[in-house]
Amino acid sequence: MPAQCFLGIDLGAESGRVLAGILNENKIELEEIYRFSNGPVPLAGTRRWNVTGLWASILKGLSLAAQKYGNQIISVGVDTWGVDYVLLSEKQEMLGQPYHYRDPRTEGMLDLATSRVPQQEIFDATGLQFMEINTLYQLLAMQQTDPELLDQAKTFLMIPDFFHWLLSGSQVVEFTNATTTQCLNPVTGDWAYEMLRKLEIPTAMLPKLVSPGTKLGSLREEVMQNTGLGKIDVIAPATHDTASAVAAIPTTQTGNPNWAYISSGTWSLMGVEVNSAVLGKRAFELNFTNEGGIDGTYRLLKNIMGLWLVQECKRAFERQGQSMEYSELAEAAASAEAFRSLVDPDDSRFLSPPDMLEAITQFCTETRQPVPETPGQYIRCALESLALKYQKVAGWLEELTGTPLEVIHIVGGGTKNELLNQFTANACQIPVIIGPVEATGLGNVLVQARAAGAVSSLSEIREIVLNSVETSRYEPQEKSVWEEAIQRFNNLINNATVDL
């Protein structure tokens, strides 16, 4: 069979890409066709997504792909982050510029929701962890501040579904991204209608749910004219970027929760793959989440603040006139004193601070720790704290599944941070396998390939990735030193001051 090309549109919090996945026999080659910037747009005191600007960049990338691969192209599909959405009116007009999940409008909405519906009942109905960025609280905020606009909504689409609508005219929501909303019932596999009605959130706007690999239609005529592409299929991959990334983890243990993953980037999403949602009292107490995966699987996971801490420190250094590359920051961190200062990465003050350095300083001051003074000390604080949080989450995963973890796979852009990779192995005291960096893009295009009949199963997807990419392995070191740090970190996140 001649090589086939599948186009993946991968939108992240900092950048977007149009990718070409070239499948030839039992190997996949991923090529970046076009990269463009992304990020929150400040707009009259709010944070929004520039989706029209993203669409213009997508069209340019698709044009370049058409020029290079032409008739080899079989299909196209989009993956993005979760929780954010677009509302369309009866006449198919966008109702406002879509909000960014870090917009402050959701502050206090979790408390409002649980005053109407008990927290345990919300968890039982959705299986999702409680974070004020969730779609549920965004919709509740809109209900409070702009009910007239919400009432006009005919169709609710998640961000990747919105771009699929622009590509093909489809108006559905794909399962994996829907599970990030805290509006979907993992038992029924449908929207949590009863809970939403109790919260007085309209449900008529919620469209049909579809599974990863669903054919949504063919390209609109105008898209073909603007890009030079032919009448190719538009396929919904696993549209949540982490679901696509997990699909491309090169494990031979599909169906066994004895391995964990960390999708490492702006956020760190750490979890295991299970065959059904893990609900119950303990999962609720630990605030775990159940997000959808391929073939009806669930990703039992925790959202951890991730390399956002490092990214925001870098921006703060630049505002101070210290412009440093990530490699320079990692080198400075490697030579800094170990365990001088630690933070809880998931403390709310780190979600969207005006200045990350000030937020870390405040945390260290309140917990009676030395305040970082140099770039290396700030970055080492962030990286060690992340690794220690991974260790905590790994223990909770073992408790919830009853299965010891034997290995952790780290995928995504964060795999380039070698210091964090080693810290993770040290903290968790199990081997860490790194790669692929481009797991999300690979998962996207290989789910499309399966929809086209070129790949047969999730296991085969992972076998192809294993044949196609190089991985590296980190073995645990310095056990006793990290055991002491774990105890100190546990005291810290239990709201105790730290004994130095």
Task: Enumerate the active-site residues.
Answer: 241
Contact 266, 308 (CB under 8 A): yes
For 376, half-sphere exposure in the C-beta direction (CA atoms, 13 angstrom radius) is 9
Contact 343, 362 (CB under 8 A): no
Q: Is the dihedral angle over the CA atoms 382, 385, 387, 392 positive or is it negative?
A: negative
Contact 11, 54 (CB under 8 A): yes
Contact 304, 386 (CB under 8 A): yes
- Number of Cβ within a 10 Å radius of residue 52: 10
Q: How far apart are CA 8 and CA 29, in angstroms?
A: 12
Q: How far apart are CA 500 and CA 488, in angstroms?
A: 9
What residue type is 65 in one-letter code?
A: A
Interhelix angle for 375-401 vs 326-334, to 10°?
80
How far from 361 is each of 102, 341, 373, CA to CA, in Å? 21, 10, 9
Which residues share a beta bridge with 215?
Answer: 235
CA-closest candidate to residue 74, choices 464, 457, 460, 452: 452
